[in-house]
Structures are given as structure tokens and as C-alpha cells.
Amino acid sequence: MEDKEKAVEILGKTEAAHPPSPIRCCWLRLRCLAATSIICGCSCLGVMALVFAIKAEERHKAGRSEEAVRWGARARKLILASFAVWLAVLILGPLLLWLLSYAIAQAE
């Protein structure tokens, strides 16, 4: 009986020493999304997202998970902003050209 108690106590100590990581993303996936946002999105925001993703990965490797989560969240926000800006340009560009041609046609 004492052996079981000691085993449970030792197991409890090892679990307390290494708590589960709160990180919910794959760091390689985050870096790939950032690189994709450079190519398929607004490149200046994508570059910043890639820098933040690399910083998050380095913090994770160093064992500083709180900082890694913070940098990863910043990278995700910039990735989404990069894609949103690019989609806005793709949608608004032709729309504004159509409105301009309509205004010119009405002016004549």
C-alpha cells in the first residue's frame, strides 16, 4: 500500500513540475501561414507575421510558453489582417473602377 502511495506522490510531483503547455497551435503551421500571407496577402503585414511567428517558436523552444503564446497571438492577428487587406483590395479595386467609369459616363 505504501508503494502505491509513493508512486502516486512521485507521479503527482512530476506532473506538477511539467504542467501541460497552454499552446494550442503547431508552430510550423503558424510559420507556414505567415509565409503564405506574404505571398497571397499584404506582404508588409505578412513579413511582420513571419517575424512574430519565428519569435514565438523560439520562445517556445526556450521554455517560455507565456511569451510564446503572446507572440503567436500577434502573428495570427497579423496573418488574418494580411489576408483581410488583400481580399479588400481584390473586392474594392474592381468595384471602385466600376464606380469611376459609371461616374464618368454620367458626367458626359
* Residues 73-91 pLDDT 10s: 999 999 999 999 999 999 9
Residue 18 confidence class, pLDDT cut points 50, 70, 90:
very low
Burial status of residue 52 (CB atoms within 10 A of its CB: 0-12, 13-18, 19 or more): buried
- Decide if pLDDT at 22 tops 70: no
3-state secondary structure of 70: helix
| Percent of all residues in the chain with a pLDDT value above 70, rounded to a whole number | 76
pLDDT of residue 92 exceeding 90, the answer is yes
Place of cell 454620367: 106
41-75 residue pLDDT tens: 888 888 999 999 999 989 988 988 888 899 999 99
